[in-house]
Amino acid sequence: MSNIRVAVIGGSGIYKLEAIKVKGSHSVSTPFGNPSAEVMECEVDGNSFYFLPRHGIGHHFTPSEVNYRANIFALKKLGVDTIVSVSAVGSLQEQYSPRQFVMVDQFIDWTKGLRKRSFFDDGIVGHVSAANPVEAGLSKRLFAACERAGVGAHLGGTYLCIEGPQFSTKAESQIYRSFGAAVIGMTNVPEAFLAKEAGMAYATVAMVTDYDCWKAEHCTVQEIMDVMKSNYVSAQAFIREAIPDLVRNPVSIVAENEYAVITDPGLLNTSHREILDVILKK
């Protein structure tokens, strides 16, 4: 067990950024199966952090296939208490422009029930508030890192999560806009809720690639990929500002999972306790 407390979950392109040095990797077993990949131990400007490619090395898991429980559990087992989620999204409102980053503060779950979204099942009943799924203090610090890096950013906004892998129809996109959601993506639910259950500070950096399909102009997948490449250049500048700050000045966390479990302790078996020993650890 190292003393690394910060982890980044993101696309495969993140760990290939010039600013990041990969020092090694950790194979972590979990009661929920394998994480998306081995957890990489990385360094930026002498500051160590973990990185987990959400879709696996080479991007081979669809959003629905990602083992979100294993990913979050593995990071918590390694001692992580702060997660920065870097995700590509579409914009649902004019003011959130492609190539800008949005520090999301709320989520709307529009997935289809295919994803395991809680650690509390199979004999463990527990409830954790998801009223504020993002750690506000962490989000503000990530926004400040964007400003220092010269990356256009917005503090606050709702992330609407769809199942995917298809993008929205125009009719769906208009419905989502009517909800007042800022951006649309496919991966941060249940990731954010699981981090909350595990008592971890979690925040999303949503990198805008396009205006979804609600706007008049058509945007091809190739155009989206081109913007993503540009966003990764900005991500490199952002990472160099954010990670050293979080490593040197750890986030203060108030976990909300301490009294989550309501199942009679006498009914908990060895497997249950293995799970709870990790996710409830302070």
264 is catalytic: no
Helix (H) or strand (E) holding 229: helix 221-248
Q: CA nearest 14: which of 70, 87, 81, 90? A: 87
CA 188, 252, 104 angle in degrees (round to 5)? 25
Query: Roughly how many angstroms between the first and final C-alpha of the chain, as a whole number?
Result: 15
Cβ-contact 247, 6 below 8 angstroms: yes
CA dihedral 251, 157, 183, 243 (to 10 degrees): -20
Catalytic hit among 210, 226, 245, 277: 210
Q: CA nearest 104: which of 146, 66, 61? A: 146
245 is catalytic: no
Q: CA nearest 86: which of 217, 213, 171, 191? A: 191
136-149 and 221-248 helices, crossing angle to 10°: 110
Catalytic hit among 212, 245, 264, 277: 212
Cβ-contact 204, 188 below 8 angstroms: yes
Helix (H) or strand (E) holding 276: helix 270-279
- Residue 201: partners with Cβ closer than 8 Å, 6 or more residues away: 81, 82, 83, 135, 137, 138, 195, 251, 253
Helix (H) or strand (E) holding 202: strand 201-210
| Catalytic site positions | 210, 212
